Amino acid sequence: MKKNLLILGAGCIARDVADAVEDFPEYELAGFVVDVPPYEPGQLMLGKPIYWIDDIPFFDRSYRAICAIGRMTKIRIIQKVQELGMPFVNLIHPTARVSRSASIGEGTFIGVSVQIGAFTKIDNHVFINRGVMIGSEVSIKEYSVISAGANIAGNVEIGASTFIGFGAMVLPHITVGNNCIVGAGAMVSRSFPDRVKVIGHPAEIIEIDIGGF
């Protein structure tokens, strides 16, 4: 029997995840969940209802959740859904190749054609978009987003709530701190501390003490 799946969010990432759900025969898309305006009761997206988060307690035990919000505002809605007792699932696309020695945390999405190397550790609620390459012995902390086409070499640590932009490259033995933004196409050739925004080739800091994304 299929499990009903609710996607947290109703933006473009949520639509991408909804499209991917069709490739998971064990799940049936039941709708989308939001906690910010502007959504009205009864509104539909892709033919599925958009629910307010206060509706969560009324769903039965067959329902599961996955978050499809790119910005760090997602932490609020994830924590609320956890408090309401709904389980999260991992969605690992059938075309992805994840090493058997890698570990994947709860509520993580791994998209089309992603490659994840040996002994890599992905924490809870990480979003890894299509075509990402992740080497061996990499650590990606909770809530981070790895955008499409990014290439993360081996022995890299990506901090919590960090955003890696489209096509960015992180070279081996690099640490990127918590709450950082790595711009699209950047080449990260040295380590960076928490709460910085970096861009360029090689990447350099353009903002410090940023408030996340």
Convert the pLDDT of each residue in 141-197 to its tens digit.
999 999 999 999 999 999 999 999 999 999 999 999 999 999 999 999 999 999 999
Nearest to residue 163, comparing CAs of 187, 179, 142?
Answer: 179
Band the pLDDT of 39: cuts 50, 70, 90.
confident
Strand partners, 3: 27
Q: Which amino acid is at 149?
A: G
Q: pLDDT > 90: what percent of the chain?
A: 90
DSSP secondary structure letter of residue 192: B
Nearest-angstrom CA–CA distance, 195 and 125: 19
Structure tokens of 16? 């991408």
Q: Contact 7/66 with Cβ under 8 angstroms?
A: yes
DSSP secondary structure letter of residue 42: T
Q: Which ranges in the chain belong to alpha helices (H)?
A: 12-21, 74-83
Band the pLDDT of 131: cuts 50, 70, 90.
very high
This prediction has a pTM of: 0.94
Q: Contact 53/80 with Cβ under 8 angstroms?
A: yes
Count the Cβ atoms, other than its own, within 10 Å of residue 76: 13
Band the pLDDT of 211: cuts 50, 70, 90.
confident
